């Protein structure tokens, strides 16, 4: 038996292994033994007890057997028989003849690979080794172990062994689950070992050989274990380690497969996108195609002629397109440049909508949707007339003016709901221009108008440029809504100044948006603004505007608007315009008088819509035979809305009367107020404050209530001073104001009030108190009073007259400065009204107290 030292791990009985030998002496010895064809060649294989190299590539190293070295080998080994040499011809029982390629030119074999079958365990007996006569390979003396077969006498407790056997079988299943080759090998092992449960000792050895990743010392432990239970434990330990390693390998494999799967998926999707893009003519990753298209578009713009696209714009586009050509599509800069170019290219350079020069058409459009508003309509017709007369002139001066707006910006000012915004839309239609509206109410950021600088993340252009993009024409009508609500907090610049640049005809042909940073011609755009209160429009802006004041509507006007526009529109929208439904004039008048008193018609429109919706519900319920709830049920026959059944649709009236007193008491006079919501009657009440220990000459104070703001409070003081002076002039001995403290109140204390226009009313109220005489009971008055007693002009005459008529007044005192406003009022408002114009307070006194030339009375 030729002894060898196995460099990796021991060979277990019952297993077949391959051995590779490179040591020439050992090769020589084995070859010689193999050439002796009479008996098989046996080897005594002892594993090396030196620690194996930790290199993971160790097993790639060819040699796994070398000449026997007793000092570095375990004493328990195995007897193996050389079965065959792969690639060699089998000659005798286990012996072979070498092929030429295994033999070097000089006749020496360089590497020998043997297939060996392990028969049994052996122990190394003699430490003294004798060397054979022919080779330097030492001979060894060994003891063979008994048969590798289980017997209860020698192998311990059978129940423990049975349990261990079951466990081993489980391990075999685990180990072979993912490995078909191993499963096949296990199958043939079990076929050979007849019976359900194979011999436990053989099973241990088989499993020990099956575990590919087992370490040398662990296999040696199996080899040295004689007891069945010891051997089982050693094998189970090996199996447990192997199963753990298999799990780790499986996890890694799954992870790799998943990541490969994901990247494969992405790759396939990208390829598909490319394919779709090329089908759509967008090509490749889009960049080349984009650059090509950009350049083509640029050439087109250059060809539009001088002045259509500014030089700066052309240069900026060229630079950006060149830049984009050198950038990766995935870079953030690429996208920034792309959206910049897109914005520039999407502007309507040289494109404008054909304008309408027909006055007849414009008139028809304007009248179709809006009642009244004559001032606005005339301004538009004048504009069209000027445009039409100049359209064919080609002089330089006209070239400059052609299509450049109206010179001034029209600003529609008036209370809410009088149709400012909606007439804007009709104006655009009548002029044949696109309409774009944006509200600047509460706007405090200048970038909303001028855009952000391109250095900001998510930067974009301002509203005017967006308007050009959206409308795709360079001559739209832009309505800037709520210009009086522009915020001036100034954290982000001053939006009013930006608007100034935009609206100024001498500047806006070179409007420079921060985002685009190239001049854009906005001079073809027609700007209009709307506002509720002119006082709040920044002065420089107001200076550039032509204000068209729209006053609120009175009762007849509202009825007309409702009948001609709002009712038909609401019926159309609700789908009840089938001829069956009718909203009577008395119902509309009732709505206007007792439900909707504000200056505009928005609230009236809402009420009418409420009625038509309810009728729609009744119609549908009736058709479908549905029983409605009590609240929604129709309480009358047919579908005619009248004054009597109006409350079924819109509930009880909100207003009853404006008149607080049929006959105002002493110290109470009716004034007239006006706000953006319209006009209203406003009583001024005065009372003397009675003190328990009243002493003459200790008064003179005045207490004010009624939620009055600064200007109105000052007005009280002025009125008090005037009343003292006038009383003194009228009745020089009357010391009423010196003797009494006075309380002046303006009812409806919850509503804040401001403005100087109640000056003459307050004075009259105080004088009525002092003279202990009531003012004329049917009088209402409005006017500011100066310290010297002059009566100054006030605003909102129309609204105030409407309110006065509503409150049943027949005598009106107005400042002389408002005579023109009165003259312009429609006749039906003036009818039956006795009006007096006062230049100073004397006139007011004469009318209120029905006293001719009062200063000469005493």
Ligand X SMILES: Nc1ncnc2c1ncn2[C@@H]1O[C@H](COP(=O)(O)OP(=O)(O)OP(=O)(O)O)[C@@H](O)[C@H]1O
Task: Tell me the residue nearest to ligand X as measured from the CB.
Answer: 419
| Contact call for residue 797 and ligand X (CB under 6 A) | no
Show Cβ contacts of residue 405 under 8 Å, excluding neighbours closer than 6 positions.
Answer: 505, 523, 524, 525, 526, 527
CA distance 462 to 833: 53
| Contact call for residue 767 and ligand X (CB under 6 A) | no
| Contact call for residue 603 and ligand X (CB under 6 A) | no
CB of 602 closer than 8 Å to CB of 561: no
Number of DSSP helices (H) and strands (E) in the chain, helices first = 30, 29
418 is in an annotated binding site: yes
| Contact call for residue 437 and ligand X (CB under 6 A) | no
CA distance 792 to 760: 10
Q: How far is the CB of 631 from ligand X (least distance, A)?
A: 28
CA trace torsion 307, 310, 314, 316 (10° rounding):
180
Q: Which is nearer to ligand X, 376 or 760 (CB)?
A: 376
| Contact call for residue 371 and ligand X (CB under 6 A) | yes
CB of 796 closer than 8 Å to CB of 848: no
CA distance 143 to 727: 149
| Contact call for residue 377 and ligand X (CB under 6 A) | no
SS3 state at 668:
strand
Q: How far is the CB of 367 from ligand X (least distance, A)?
A: 10
Q: Which is nearer to ligand X, 311 or 364 (CB)?
A: 364
| Contact call for residue 422 and ligand X (CB under 6 A) | yes
Q: Which is nearer to ligand X, 17 or 676 (CB)?
A: 676
Q: How far is the CB of 636 from ligand X (least distance, A)?
A: 29
419 is in an annotated binding site: yes
Tell me how far apart the 2 most distant CA atoms of the chain are, in Å.
170
Q: Which is nearer to ligand X, 231 or 433 (CB)?
A: 433
Reference 237, options 256, 258, 222, 255; nearest CA is: 222
Q: Which is nearer to ligand X, 199 or 605 (CB)?
A: 605
Of the candidate residues 138, 283, 372, 493, the single one contacting ligand X (CB under 6 A): 372
Catalytic residues: 757, 800
Distances from the Cα of 187 to the Cα of 166, 193, 214, 419, angstroms: 16, 10, 21, 94
354 is in an annotated binding site: no
86 is in an annotated binding site: no
Q: Which is nearer to ligand X, 201 or 412 (CB)?
A: 412
Of the candidate residues 8, 420, 607, 805, the single one contacting ligand X (CB under 6 A): 420
Q: Which residues pair with 258 in a beta bridge?
A: none
| Contact call for residue 532 and ligand X (CB under 6 A) | yes
416 is in an annotated binding site: yes
| Contact call for residue 436 and ligand X (CB under 6 A) | no
Buried b (16+ CB within 10 A) or exposed e, 706-734: bebeeebeebbebbbebbbbbbeebeeeb
Q: Which residues pair with 836 in a beta bridge?
A: 813
| Contact call for residue 574 and ligand X (CB under 6 A) | no
Residue with tokens 């250095």: 455
Q: Which is nearer to ligand X, 521 or 598 (CB)?
A: 598
156 is in an annotated binding site: no
| Contact call for residue 373 and ligand X (CB under 6 A) | yes
Of the candidate residues 4, 502, 601, 812, the single one contacting ligand X (CB under 6 A): 601
User: Mask: binding to ligand X, 722-761, rule CB under 6 A, as x and -?
Assistant: ----------------------------------------
Distance from chain centroid for Cα 695? 73
CA distance 186 to 215: 21
Q: Which is nearer to ligand X, 76 or 531 (CB)?
A: 531
Q: How far is the CB of 446 from ligand X (least distance, A)?
A: 23
DSSP 8-state secondary structure symbol assigned to residue 162: H
CB of 412 closer than 8 Å to CB of 527: no
Q: Which helix (H) or strand (E) holds 573?
A: helix 567-574
Distances from the Cα of 197 to the Cα of 16, 208, 442, 721, angstroms: 22, 17, 90, 125
Of the candidate residues 155, 418, 807, 811, the single one contacting ligand X (CB under 6 A): 418
| Contact call for residue 421 and ligand X (CB under 6 A) | yes
Q: How far is the CB of 426 from ligand X (least distance, A)?
A: 9
Q: How far is the CB of 551 from ligand X (least distance, A)?
A: 11
Q: Which residues are annotated as a binding site for ATP?
A: 414-421
Binding residues are 414-421
Using CB under 6 A as the criterion, which residues of the chain lie in contact with ligand X when the complex forms?
A: 370-373, 416-422, 530, 532, 561, 565, 600-602, 605
């Amino acid at each position: 038996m030729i002894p060898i030292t196995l460099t990796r791990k021991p060979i277990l009985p019952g297993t077949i292994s391959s051995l590779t030998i490179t040591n020439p002496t050992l090769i020589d010895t084995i070859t010689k033994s193999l050439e002796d064809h009479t008996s098989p060649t046996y080897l005594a294989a002892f594993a090396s007890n030196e620690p194996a190299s930790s290199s993971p590539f160790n097993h790639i190293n060819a040699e796994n057997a070398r000449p026997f070295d007793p000092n570095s080998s375990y004493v328990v080994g195995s007897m193996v028989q050389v079965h065959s040499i792969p690639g060699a011809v089998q000659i005798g029982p286990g012996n072979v003849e070498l092929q030429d390629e295994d033999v070097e030119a000089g006749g020496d074999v360089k590497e020998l690979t043997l297939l060996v079958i392990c028969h049994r365990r052996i122990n190394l007996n003699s430490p003294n080794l004798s060397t054979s006569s022919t080779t330097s390979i030492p001979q060894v003396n060994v003891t063979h172990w008994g048969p590798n077969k289980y017997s209860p006498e020698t192998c311990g407790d059978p129940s423990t062994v049975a349990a261990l056997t079951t466990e081993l079988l489980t391990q075999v299943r685990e180990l072979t689950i993912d490995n078909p080759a191993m499963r096949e090998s296990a199958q043939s092992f079990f076929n050979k070992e007849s019976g359900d449960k194979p011999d436990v000792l053989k099973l241990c050895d088989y499993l020990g050989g099956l575990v590919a990743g087992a370490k040398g010392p662990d296999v040696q432990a199996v080899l040295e274990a004689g007891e069945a239970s010891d051997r089982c434990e050693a094998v189970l330990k090996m199996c447990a380690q192997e199963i753990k390693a298999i799990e780790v390998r499986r996890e890694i494999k799954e992870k790799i497969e998943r990541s490969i799967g994901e990247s494969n998926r992405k790759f396939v999707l990208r390829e598909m996108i490319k394919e779709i893009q090329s089908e759509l003519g967008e090509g490749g990753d889009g960049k080349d195609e984009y650059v090509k298209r950009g350049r083509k578009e640029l050439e087109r713009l250059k060809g539009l002629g001088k002045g259509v696209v500014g030089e700066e714009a052309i240069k900026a586009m060229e630079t950006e397109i060149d830049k984009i050509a050198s950038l990766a599509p995935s870079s953030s800069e690429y996208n920034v440049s792309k959206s910049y170019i897109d914005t520039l290219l999407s502007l309507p350079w040289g494109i404008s909508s054909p304008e309408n020069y027909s006055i007849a058409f414009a008139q028809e459009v304007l009248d179709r949707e809006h009642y009244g508003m004559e001032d606005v309509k005339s301004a538009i017709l004048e504009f069209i007339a000027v445009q039409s007369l100049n359209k064919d002139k080609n002089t330089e001066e006209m070239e400059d003016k052609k299509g450049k707006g109206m010179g001034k910006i029209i600003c529609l000012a008036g209370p809410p709901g009088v149709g400012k915004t909606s007439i804007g839309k009709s104006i655009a239609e009548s002029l044949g221009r696109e309409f774009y509206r944006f509200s600047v109410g509460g706007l405090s950021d200048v970038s909303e108008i001028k855009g952000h600088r391109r250095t900001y993340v998510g930067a974009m252009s301002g509203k005017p440029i967006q308007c050009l993009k959206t409308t795709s024409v360079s001559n739209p009508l832009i309505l800037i809504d709520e210009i009086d609500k522009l915020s001036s907090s100034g954290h982000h610049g001053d939006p009013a100044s930006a608007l100034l640049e935009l609206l100024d005809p001498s500047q806006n042909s070179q409007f420079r948006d921060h985002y685009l940073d190239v001049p854009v011609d906005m001079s073809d755009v027609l700007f209009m603004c709307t506002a509720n209160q002119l006082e709040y429009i920044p002065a420089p802006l107001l200076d550039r505007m032509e204000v068209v004041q729209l006053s609120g509507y009175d009762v007849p006007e509202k009825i007309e608007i409702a009948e001609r526009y709002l009712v038909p529109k609401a019926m159309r929208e609700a789908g009840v315009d089938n001829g069956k439904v009718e909203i009577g004039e008395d119902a509309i008048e009732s709505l206007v008088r007792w439900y909707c008193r504000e200056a505009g018609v928005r609230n009236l429109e809402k009420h009418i819509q409420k009625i038509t919706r309810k009728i729609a519900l009744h119609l549908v319920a009736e058709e479908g035979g549905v029983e409605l709830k009590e609240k929604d049920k129709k309480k009358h026959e047919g579908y005619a809305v009248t004054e009597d059944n109006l409350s079924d649709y819109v509930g009880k009236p909100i207003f009853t009367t404006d008149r607080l007193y049929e006959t105002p008491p002493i110290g109470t006079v009716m004034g007239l107020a006006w706000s953006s919501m319209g006009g209203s009657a406003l009583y001024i009440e005065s009372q003397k404050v009675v003190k328990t220990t009243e002493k003459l000459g200790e008064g003179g104070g005045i207490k004010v209530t009624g939620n009055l703001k600064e200007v109105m409070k000052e007005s009280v003081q002025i009125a008090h001073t005037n009343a003292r002076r006038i009383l003194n002039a009228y009745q020089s001995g009357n010391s009423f104001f010196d003797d009494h403290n006075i309380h002046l109140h303006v009812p409806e204390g919850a509503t804040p009030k401001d403005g100087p226009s109640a000056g003459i009313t307050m004075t009259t109220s105080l004088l009525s108190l002092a003279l202990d005489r009531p003012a004329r009971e049917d009088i209402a008055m409005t006017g500011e009073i100066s310290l010297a007693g002059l009566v100054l002009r006030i605003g909102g005459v129309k609204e105030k007259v409407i309110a006065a008529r509503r409150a049943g007044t027949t005598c009106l005192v107005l400042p002389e400065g408002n005579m023109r406003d009165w003259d312009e009022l429609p006749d039906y408002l003036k009818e039956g009204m006795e009006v007096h114009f006062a230049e100073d307070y004397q006139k007011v006194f004469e009318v209120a107290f029905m006293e001719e030339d009062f200063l000469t009375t005493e």
